[in-house]
Amino acid sequence: MTSIIEKRLSLHQRLAEQEEENRALKSQNTQLQALATLGSATCMIAHEINNLLTPLTTYAALAVQNPNDLELAKKVLDKTVRNCQRASKIMQSMLAVANGQNHQKQDACVRSLVEEAFTCLCRDFAKDGITVQTNVPEDLRVLCVPVQIEQVLMNLILNARDAMLPGGGILNVTAAADDEHIRIVVSDTGRGIEPEHLANVFRPFFTTKTGKDRPAGSNSGSGVGLAFCRRIVDAHGGEIGVTSKPGKGSTFTIQLPLKPPHERP
Ligand SMILES: Nc1ncnc2c1ncn2[C@@H]1O[C@H](COP(=O)(O)OP(=O)(O)OP(=O)(O)O)[C@@H](O)[C@H]1O
Ligand SMILES: [Mg+2]
């Protein structure tokens, strides 16, 4: 009899201990998740700010070399103000994405999103032998967080450029809509993606732009650009995909819903 009571008491005690341990593990898990969120937000912000600062540095250096060109100096200052304002918007919006919050979406003109992405890059593509072709209907609109979709486009355009260095090629950006989606397509005639890499390109930290594998003339990569693009597109309820032929080029397609989820059939 005593032994049964003792056994029950000991079981109760073990249960209480395990419940306490469970609570401690849950709290540790929450703290670790918060740290992971902070890490991924920091990485995304650093990556995007770098995308904005790199072209500005080159552009400003050009103005320093040509002190008498006041028009150039004015252009550099305009771009600096613009990209700095953008950097601040990006920080707010990236923190929200990393925290899993939905930023306020706006009805945006797709052509303006594409134009803004090109403007922020401050690059003369022709100097790299790259012909830019865009075909985006003026009246095409989409519900989105504009600064985020512009950053996605910037990343795709930068990758396309890297893929076409040093030989040059054609960068094509088009957009079209059906009843439910808008589709933005960014394609290039660059080196393409090897079939064994195709499934990896959206994985965080996957990059071929390092060491001896780095394509001549291209920027070195951290491999977070496309992972970031996928995260943003997912947060918009959309999809991003790629097709590619090695040696011929790559095509990235972003599909975004035209209407918010509660208004879809
Ligand atoms: N347009 C493209 N043509 C060929 N390869 C591409 C293209 N876009 C992406 N890739 C491949 O996918 C990889 C991952 O791209 P991602 O943008 O995530 O990283 P990254 O460009 O290497 O570095 P970063 O973090 O600076 O963007 C690239 O390293 C490259 O191998
Ligand atoms: Mg990239």
Structural domain boundaries in the chain? 2-96, 105-263
Please say whether the structural domain 105-263 has been given the CATH code 3.30.565.10.
Answer: yes
pTM flag (> 0.95): no
Looking only at the bridges linking them, the beta strands covering 249-257 and 181-188 are antiparallel
Spell out the alpha helix ranges (H) of the chain: 2-65, 70-98, 110-121, 146-163, 195-198, 225-235
> Does ligand 1 have an atom closer than 6 angstroms to the CB of 160?
yes
Pick the ligand that lies closest to the CA of residue 246: 1
> Which ligand is closest in space to the CA of residue 252?
1
Distances (CA, A) of 195 to 10, 206, 228: 60, 14, 22
Residue with CA nearest ligand 1 atom 19: 223
Asked if residue 209 has its Cβ within 6 Å of ligand 1, the reply is: yes
Residue (of 155, 163, 187, 162) closest to 174 by Cα position: 187
CA of 144 relative to ligand 1 center, distance in Å: 24
Q: How far is the CA of 162 from the centre of ligand 2 (A)?
A: 8
Give the distance (Å) from ligand 2 centre to CA of residue 208.
10
Ligand 1 centre distance from Cα of residue 223 (Å):
6
What is the full per-residue pLDDT of the chain (265 aa) written as tens digits? 568 888 888 889 999 999 999 999 998 888 888 777 777 778 778 888 888 888 888 889 999 999 999 999 999 999 899 888 888 887 877 777 666 666 678 999 999 999 989 987 877 899 899 999 999 999 999 999 898 899 899 999 999 999 999 899 999 999 999 988 999 999 999 999 999 999 999 998 899 998 665 655 556 788 989 998 998 999 899 999 999 999 999 999 999 998 765 555 5
Q: Out of 159, 200, 212, give the residue to mutate to test ligand 1, the one with the largest number of ligand atoms within 8 Å of its CB.
A: 159
Q: What are phi and psi of 102, to 5 degrees?
A: -90, 120
pLDDT for residue 120: 79
Indicate the top mutation candidate among 209, 220, 230 to test ligand 1's pocket, ranked by most ligand atoms within 8 A of CB. Answer: 209
Q: Cα(109) to centroid of ligand 1, in Å?
A: 27
**What integer pLDDT is reported at residue 163 of this predicted model?**
94
Nearest CA to 170 among 195, 187, 185, 156? 187
* Ligand 1 binding pocket includes 255 (Cβ within 6 Å): no
Nearest ligand by distance to the CA of 218: 1
